[in-house]
Amino acid sequence: MKAPVVLLATMDTKAAEVEFLRAELLARGHSVRVVDVGLSPVDDGVDAPARVVAAAAGQQLEELRAGARRDEAMAVMAAGAHEVLGRWHAAGELAGVLALGGNQGTSIAAAAMRELPYGIPKLIVSTVASGNVREYVGDSDVTLMFSVADLLGGANPVVAGVLRRAAAAMAGMAAAGAGDALAETHGDHRPLVALTAFGNTHGAVTAAMSVLSESDVSAVPFHASGACGSAMERLIDSGMFHGVLDLTTHELLGELFPADIYAPVRPGRLTAAGRAGIPQVVAPGGLEYHCFGGAGTIPAELRNRPTHYHNPNNTNVRATADELVTVAEELAERLNASTGAVAVLVPALGWSAVGSPGGVLHDPAANEAFTRTLRARLSSRVVLRELETTINDPVFATTAAETLLELLRDHPAARRELPVQ
């Protein structure tokens, strides 16, 4: 028997839309459960009523309604819904989650879904899906679908089509399976490593991936956009990877200077591999500049710095020597805490395409301040190598990949999967 699809909504305001989705999913052969995350309880047609959801978070619905601040009450309902969904998933009773709502309903649904394992279908039909959705999605695989019209008063001619397609999308995703990302690697016995990438480090990343592939090592690249790097850290914590080739560590700069649009969605870049004790090779790719949106979004105090206009929605502003010293101090602290093998490779001539000789962000003196700090702060357990190349030089990429391969061969879990040399 198929596991049910869960519909999640504030039933006091979205019951008609939920019933429409239920009928669509039933017609496609899926059983349905309904979770009510509203503060005005509705029991008819609900499998997890609001009071049960609140209790799952250790609270009483009546107390939330009587005295809690609205945002705090919503956080409780999100936590309770996440607990309910987690229990059903653990029991094999969750094929996917389909939610709908406005700003409030989207916020609750996204918070309830975000920490579920990757691979479980997660879809929200939302009135706010055409705006900046980073706060809702975070580093999860939540999908948002714009409702076009308001979700108010049932399936009108505009909304009905959107809901019908949402049900079809969820049915299709559920049919593909609700396994987590770690399960997707079963059957592939090659060592699996994570890489980080930017357009400005593309040459290094692709060349390194080629070297790894030739050694029968599989690689998953993550764009260093804040969300992808955080997702990589989560997957490392889940036990998915044997090693990390962290060529593009820009997000650490963003974490320390969070005006950067690529600041991680959760703190802790460059910590999961250390906790897991897996080999990691680290380079300062893209670490020498801040990322902002269009030129008009650059903070006023930074507008006199060298700037690369990457595209109409992305500008790169040079980081100073003092800022890079701060980054190097934090990087050293995080890598020194690692329980596994670590090597740091620094391409002395440039850390990105635009930060190399001839590039507008080339500043050897600022980069040297970073490297000098690493020399002073890194533990003797951490290997530090400086190469007289740019990061996108094939020599650097090959050296970085081969360094990781050497560390993998010394790591028991990865060594079992590597071909005999």
Assigned fold of 5-175: Rossmann fold (3.40.50)
pLDDT value at position 132? Answer: 85
Shared fold status for 5-175 and 188-415: yes
pLDDT value at position 179? Answer: 56
pLDDT value at position 407? Answer: 97
- CA neighbours closer than 13 Å in the CB half-sphere of residue 134: 12
Q: What is the pLDDT along the chain (421 residues), one digit of tens a residue?
A: 689 999 999 999 999 999 999 999 999 999 999 999 999 988 899 999 999 999 999 999 999 999 889 899 999 999 999 999 999 999 999 999 999 999 999 999 999 999 999 999 999 999 999 888 999 999 999 999 999 999 987 788 899 999 999 999 999 999 987 555 555 554 567 899 999 999 999 999 999 999 999 999 999 999 999 999 999 999 999 999 999 999 999 999 999 999 999 999 999 999 999 999 999 999 999 999 999 999 999 999 999 999 999 999 999 999 999 999 999 999 999 999 999 999 999 999 999 999 999 999 999 999 999 999 999 999 999 999 999 999 999 999 999 999 999 999 988 766 556 654 5
pLDDT value at position 52? Answer: 97
Burial class (CB in 10 A: 0-12, 13-18, 19+), 313: exposed
Q: Is the dihedral of CA 168, 171, 177, 182 positive or negative?
A: positive
Superfamily of domain 188-415: Uncharacterised protein family UPF0261, NC domain (3.40.50.12030)
Burial class (CB in 10 A: 0-12, 13-18, 19+), 232: buried
pLDDT value at position 418? Answer: 62
Give CA 106 to chain center in angstroms: 19
DSSP secondary structure letter of residue 38: -
Closest C-alpha among 158, 164, 122 to residue 139:
122
Q: State how far the alpha carbon of 170 is from the alpha carbons of 16, 96, 112, 150, 413, in Å.
A: 19, 7, 17, 21, 37
Domain boundaries, the chain: 5-175, 188-415
Strand order in the sheet with 96-101: 32-36, 5-9, 96-101, 122-126, 143-146
pLDDT value at position 187? Answer: 55
Point out which residues pair with 367 in neighbouring strands.
none
Q: What are phi and psi for residue 128, nearest 5 degrees? A: -110, 15
Helix%, strand%, coil% for the chain, nearest 5: 45, 20, 40
Point out which residues pair with 281 in neighbouring strands.
245, 343
Residues in the chain: 421
pLDDT value at position 412? Answer: 75
pLDDT value at position 2? Answer: 82
pLDDT value at position 131? Answer: 80
Amino acid at 179: G
* Non-local CB neighbours of 191 within 8 Å, separated by 6+ positions: 216, 217, 218, 242, 243, 408, 414, 417, 418
